[in-house]
Amino acid sequence: MSAPTRYAYLGPEGTFTEAALRRICQPGDELIPYANVTAALNAVRSGSADKALVPIENSVEGVVARTLDELATGEPLLITAETTLPVSFALMILPEHEGKPITRIATHPHAEAQCRSYVARELPGAEMIETPSTAAAAQQLGEGKWDAAIAATFAAEKYGRKIIASNIGENEGAVTRFIVAEKPHITIDPTGNDRTSLVAYIGRDHAGALLEILTEFAKQGVNLTFIQSRPTGLELGHYHFIIDVEGHIEDAPVRAALDGLTKICEEIRFLGSYPRVNDGQGK
């Protein structure tokens, strides 16, 4: 019988990340919350955790930039799995504050963006306060810094908050994708339904740089499912691309495309080949 896995995740308790993690972890696994994505991934790098689950993109708000930057520029980690979770948001207060005015609402920026229409319509005078996670907003509600929080129903149950409005997001079909990251010491075998993630460093931006990258995949008939440019932080005009493609690195077309990229890119960082979860479907 294998030993329990220590999972670091974006905390505190009650986040969507915890809800997603509970769908894939095994009984007996240790779930350790961290204040932000960097801390969760660094727990794996330091050996304090075996794996980390962090969000990487949302179907409405797009990429989680901090996750992309950590994978692209931090000490190398390998993506070994992914999962998705439908997300919906609730407005919650302390039970004893029911009926009192709401002038300050706290939540994560992604949640605020998805709920701004509701807030503008129902609470137009309320100030929005940014927190590291939706669960942090719910957890710290008792400190009196704000009157309400926007978070998951899961968080309201965890912290004993009263929900006064449910499903307040603009898109009822919103889904967040999460990735499992661990130290690059294992190989995930092909399943026939895989995703490969990588970072392409182009050195210096120039006319046709993106087209050159895309052409290598097109020549091999490899479909891209995600591409995002991010600054390296070194200087203006210095970028890299985070790319997801269909297929496994052991698949001949994917391998040929990556071999082609090595001829035109300054560096390629392999982030992993792992089983793909059907878009919009939980694992």
Query: Residue 204: is its pLDDT beyond 70?
Result: no
Residues 194 and 283 in one domain: yes
Domain span at residue 257 reads 187-283
Query: Residue 282: is its pLDDT beyond 70?
Result: no
Residues 101 and 129 in one domain: yes
Residues 213 and 254 in one domain: yes
Residues 71 and 116 in one domain: no
Q: What is the pTM of this model?
A: 0.88
CA angle 158, 178, 241 (to 5 degrees): 145
Give the single-character DSSP code of 74: S
Q: Please say which residue of 165, 195, 226 terminates a domain.
A: 165
Residues 13 and 138 in one domain: no
Query: Residue 283: is its pLDDT beyond 50?
Result: no
Query: Residue 233: is its pLDDT beyond 70?
Result: no
Number of domains in the chain: 3
Give residue 96's Cα distance to chain centre: 34
Residues 61 and 178 in one domain: yes
Residue 153 is part of a domain; what is its CATH number? Answer: 3.40.190.10
pLDDT value of residue 231: 77
89-133, pLDDT tens digit by residue? 999 999 999 999 999 999 999 899 999 999 999 999 999 999 989
Residues 283 and 192 in one domain: yes
Beta-strand runs (E) in 67-108: 78-86, 90-93, 104-107
The larger pLDDT score, comparing residue 60 to residue 247, is at: 247
pLDDT value of residue 40: 97
